[in-house]
Amino acid sequence: MSDHLVLAHLVDIDWPVKSVSNPCCEISLEKTFTLMEPRQITKLRLLGIGVYDVTESLDMDAEWVLKESCYAP
Give the domain extent around 33: 5-69
Q: How far apart are CA 18 and CA 6, in angstroms?
A: 31
Helices (H) and strands (E) in the chain, counts: 2, 4
Radius of gyration of the chain, Cα coordinates, nearest whole angstrom: 13
| Cα dist from 73 to 2, 15, 22, whole Å | 20, 11, 17
Q: How far apart are CA 58 and CA 73, in angstroms?
A: 24
Reported as a pLDDT band with limits 50, 70 and 90, residue 1 is: very low
pLDDT for 35 equals 93
Query: What's the pLDDT tens digit per position in 16-48?
Result: 655 555 555 555 555 678 899 999 999 999 999
Query: What's the pLDDT tens digit per position in 57-70?
Result: 999 999 999 999 89
pLDDT for 14 equals 83
Query: The pTM is what?
Result: 0.72
